[in-house]
Chain A
């Protein structure tokens, strides 16, 4: 079986996404016949067949992301090739095999990266051996890090062996990773926590709907948390309508569809049920993931009282709701058993003051306390 590996379709691209297959297993193909449309960061390109022969296996579905150098198509037989050297899936020189998105963006965070003294060859070696140069003291002239330093560091950790055979992040899980990395790079988060006492609630109530109502009330009371912030332009935009991102967990990863105009939406429960079903069936349209002005994460379904949920820019706030608990509380001088909802609020301190966050949380609690 001859395997065609995804080449670098641009200039130093770590991966590309399958847009459309033009062939299927068993098809007879000619040299240079278009096999698949691949989308890169810059272009949609047609990948032609390197050989004439019969297609054996396609190594991915449409929408899948394939790393540069990873198998793309296997041929079950080949009838004609150009003079073949073994195809390594590389182009000019030695391409990095790893997905460059994570380590490179994460490195930007490390202030000390700028102070690393190492030649490009040593940096390359460190990447290959999964050695973090920020934690190495150089033994070369002027404290430069040498190849030997990197090799010693690699030998004393077991990172090199445990980091092989990685399962690549795909789809929603990959989107989550990118969103979290972006947040970590940009946002200056601060969190406050408190409880809402709900002993006054009358009858069975839809907890999620009560929380959404309370968030909308708090957004009206303190609009600076229902906002977007642009760190580059250093400007914020406050909203009067609440477009609520609702975090929904699934086996595939984290989905956050948006409920538009949550403040006066009679269909709230239906929308939430629909979203949950669509997430389960993986039929949720991608346009439903855009435009949130604030997010709710109901993380305490099984366990967990408080958290520091992550703000996803350009939003400036996220409300986390923990597991409802029964506590012994004091009411009018009497110790009584009542139910509390633990609340966690994370806000982007670049755009929101502590006072604003505190007032928001106050309004949230006040609304939740209401009998109905």
Chain B
């Protein structure tokens, strides 16, 4: 006797890209991307991302900054997502999406300041409602859900965007966040930077899932996978998702597939575990190179513009370094200044002890 059963639900995860590794179109561009200004802007910010990022590593190596997580080779994700956001949307970042901060108008020196150990770097000059960088893994997903709940409660048409790495999607925080976002139909977009490495743990040892976007299915959250090295695909997927989210259709997941072409942080050495042949393969997938090839083929970019851009970006980064190094350090007593409106008695005592000891040691 054969058992009878019928399909009650079916799911699929789609993959999208516009530009292949050679900078050739794989399909016609939609209206939204038929915009030379936008394409040039995406290119310029990816170059800025890479340049400021390389400088951040150099600053750490010369003792001028602390541990820093590079976004080398993954610029299309931060820049593509950030460019598709509206100013009123809220960014709840983690530590490998600095491109989104930049393209939204955030300052480079704010990033340097934060990774230089100064929390004033999170006091953004313009992006007052964006969140500080989350260093603990996956905690930002829950913060994003909280912000989305507030936006929903206030009946605003804004969206929240948060980022997470492939390793982070194994954490309970992530599953709890997408579950609550699904149940409450919250206006939040989860962007997964799947760079295939969680420090030294490869994706194959992270999950049995074929895609990370499919993790949303169990929570009723739709999603898709895009080529994370194609900034056009990242931009278009984000733009479409945010449109639906702002229209009240609930949360969404974008898995941007890429490769970590850098160390996990400046305290890591990826050469010890990344297979060199993988690194060679993904070098050819470079997001900046492929967009430049495409722009040049469309006569939207030439050698002169390229030279001018690199000179401009170098100058911008040098100015940011100057601004960063010119900011005077906070006094040691600053550790007492930001938690309480009125400092409790025992902390006043500790502050006095600190002040007294500072007085004694000021004979250098």
Which residues of A line the B interface, CB within 8 A?
4-11, 32, 42-50, 82-85, 87-93, 121, 147
Task: Say if the beta carbon of B263 comes within 8 Å of chain A.
Answer: yes
A92-B330 Cα distance, complex, nearest whole Å: 12
In the bound complex, residues from chain B placing their C-beta under 8 Å from that of A91 are 60, 63-66, 117
Partner of B61, one of A5, A44, A46, A85: A46
* Residues of B269-284 contacting chain A, CB below 8 A: 269, 271-272
| A interface footprint on B302-333 (CB within 8 Å = 1, 0 otherwise) | 00000000000000001001100110000000
- Nearest B residue (CB) for A92: B117
A6-B62 Cα distance, complex, nearest whole Å: 8
- Nearest B residue (CB) for A82: B321
A83 touching B62 in the complex, CB below 8 Å, given contacts A32-B55, A147-B357: no
Task: Say if the beta carbon of B267 comes within 8 Å of chain A.
Answer: yes
Task: Say if the beta carbon of B58 comes within 8 Å of chain A.
Answer: yes
* Residues of B171-223 contacting chain A, CB below 8 A: none
- Total contacts A to B, CB within 8 angstroms? 71
Task: Evaluate contact between B267 and A89: CB separation under 8 angstroms.
Answer: no
- Nearest A residue (CB) for B269: A43
B355, chain A: closest CB distance, angstroms: 13
A85-B321 Cα distance, complex, nearest whole Å: 12
27 contacts between A and B (CB under 8 A): A4-B62, A5-B63, A7-B63, A9-B266, A10-B67, A42-B268, A42-B269, A43-B269, A44-B269, A45-B61, A45-B266, A47-B61, A49-B62, A82-B321, A82-B322, A83-B321, A83-B325, A83-B326, A84-B325, A87-B63, A90-B63, A91-B64, A92-B116, A92-B117, A93-B117, A121-B357, A147-B353
In the bound complex, residues from chain A placing their C-beta under 8 Å from that of B60 are 7, 91
In the bound complex, residues from chain A placing their C-beta under 8 Å from that of B64 are 7, 50, 87, 91
Task: Evaluate contact between A9 and B61: CB separation under 8 angstroms.
Answer: yes
Task: Evaluate contact between A92 and B268: CB separation under 8 angstroms.
Answer: no
B118, chain A: closest CB distance, angstroms: 9
Partner of B267, one of A43, A90, A121: A43
Task: Evaluate contact between B318 and A82: CB separation under 8 angstroms.
Answer: yes
Task: Evaluate contact between A11 and B325: CB separation under 8 angstroms.
Answer: no
- Nearest B residue (CB) for A47: B61
Q: Tell which of B54, B62, B66, B271 has the most Cβ of chain A within 10 Å.
A: B62
A90-B60 Cα distance, complex, nearest whole Å: 10
In the bound complex, residues from chain B placing their C-beta under 8 Å from that of A42 are 267-269
Task: Evaluate contact between B62 and A47: CB separation under 8 angstroms.
Answer: yes
Task: Evaluate contact between B62 and A44: CB separation under 8 angstroms.
Answer: no
In the bound complex, residues from chain A placing their C-beta under 8 Å from that of B65 are 91
Task: Evaluate contact between B325 and A45: CB separation under 8 angstroms.
Answer: no
A32 touching B58 in the complex, CB below 8 Å, given contacts A89-B63, A147-B357: yes
In the bound complex, residues from chain A placing their C-beta under 8 Å from that of B272 are 43
Q: A11-B267, A83-B325 are in contact. List 14 more A-B contacts (CB 8 A).
A: A32-B55, A43-B269, A44-B271, A45-B61, A45-B269, A48-B61, A49-B62, A50-B63, A82-B321, A82-B322, A83-B326, A87-B63, A92-B117, A121-B357
A91-B116 Cα distance, complex, nearest whole Å: 7
A87-B61 Cα distance, complex, nearest whole Å: 13
In the bound complex, residues from chain B placing their C-beta under 8 Å from that of A84 are 325
Which residues of B line the A interface, CB within 8 A?
54-55, 58, 60-67, 116-117, 263, 266-269, 271-272, 318, 321-322, 325-326, 353, 357
A50 touching B326 in the complex, CB below 8 Å, given contacts A10-B267, A45-B266: no
Q: Tell which of B61, B266, B318 has the most Cβ of chain A within 10 Å.
A: B61
Task: Evaluate contact between A48 and B62: CB separation under 8 angstroms.
Answer: yes
Main secondary structure of the interface of A (DSSP, over half): loop
Task: Evaluate contact between A43 and B62: CB separation under 8 angstroms.
Answer: no
A84-B318 Cα distance, complex, nearest whole Å: 13
A124, chain B: closest CB distance, angstroms: 11
A50 touching B357 in the complex, CB below 8 Å, given contacts A42-B267, A43-B263: no
In the bound complex, residues from chain B placing their C-beta under 8 Å from that of A87 are 63-64
A5-B67 Cα distance, complex, nearest whole Å: 17
In the bound complex, residues from chain B placing their C-beta under 8 Å from that of A46 are 61
Partner of A82, one of B61, B267, B325: B325
In the bound complex, residues from chain B placing their C-beta under 8 Å from that of A50 are 62-64
B133, chain A: closest CB distance, angstroms: 15
A9-B64 Cα distance, complex, nearest whole Å: 11
In the bound complex, residues from chain B placing their C-beta under 8 Å from that of A49 are 62
In the bound complex, residues from chain B placing their C-beta under 8 Å from that of A8 are 63
A209, chain B: closest CB distance, angstroms: 44
A87-B116 Cα distance, complex, nearest whole Å: 14
A235-B62 Cα distance, complex, nearest whole Å: 45
B195, chain A: closest CB distance, angstroms: 18
In the bound complex, residues from chain B placing their C-beta under 8 Å from that of A48 are 58, 61-62
B199, chain A: closest CB distance, angstroms: 11
Q: What are the nearest 10 A-B pairs in CB distance? A: A7-B63, A43-B269, A92-B117, A50-B62, A10-B267, A92-B66, A48-B58, A83-B322, A83-B325, A32-B58
A43 touching B116 in the complex, CB below 8 Å, given contacts A48-B62, A83-B322, A85-B325: no
In the bound complex, residues from chain B placing their C-beta under 8 Å from that of A47 are 61-62
In the bound complex, residues from chain A placing their C-beta under 8 Å from that of B322 are 82-83
Task: Evaluate contact between A43 and B268: CB separation under 8 angstroms.
Answer: yes
In the bound complex, residues from chain A placing their C-beta under 8 Å from that of B267 are 10-11, 42-43
In the bound complex, residues from chain B placing their C-beta under 8 Å from that of A85 are 325
In the bound complex, residues from chain A placing their C-beta under 8 Å from that of B54 are 32
In the bound complex, residues from chain A placing their C-beta under 8 Å from that of B321 are 82-83
Q: Tell which of B61, B63, B267 has the most Cβ of chain A within 10 Å.
A: B63
A143-B268 Cα distance, complex, nearest whole Å: 42
- Nearest B residue (CB) for A125: B357
A92-B119 Cα distance, complex, nearest whole Å: 12
In the bound complex, residues from chain B placing their C-beta under 8 Å from that of A93 are 117
A125, chain B: closest CB distance, angstroms: 8
- Nearest B residue (CB) for A68: B63
A49-B61 Cα distance, complex, nearest whole Å: 9
In the bound complex, residues from chain B placing their C-beta under 8 Å from that of A121 are 357
In the bound complex, residues from chain A placing their C-beta under 8 Å from that of B117 are 91-93
A283, chain B: closest CB distance, angstroms: 29
A5-B64 Cα distance, complex, nearest whole Å: 11
A7 touching B268 in the complex, CB below 8 Å, given contacts A82-B321, A93-B117: no
In the bound complex, residues from chain B placing their C-beta under 8 Å from that of A147 are 353, 357
In the bound complex, residues from chain A placing their C-beta under 8 Å from that of B116 are 92
In the bound complex, residues from chain B placing their C-beta under 8 Å from that of A43 are 263, 267-269, 272
A43-B55 Cα distance, complex, nearest whole Å: 19
A83-B322 Cα distance, complex, nearest whole Å: 6
A2-B326 Cα distance, complex, nearest whole Å: 19
A88-B64 Cα distance, complex, nearest whole Å: 9
In the bound complex, residues from chain A placing their C-beta under 8 Å from that of B63 are 5-8, 50, 87-91
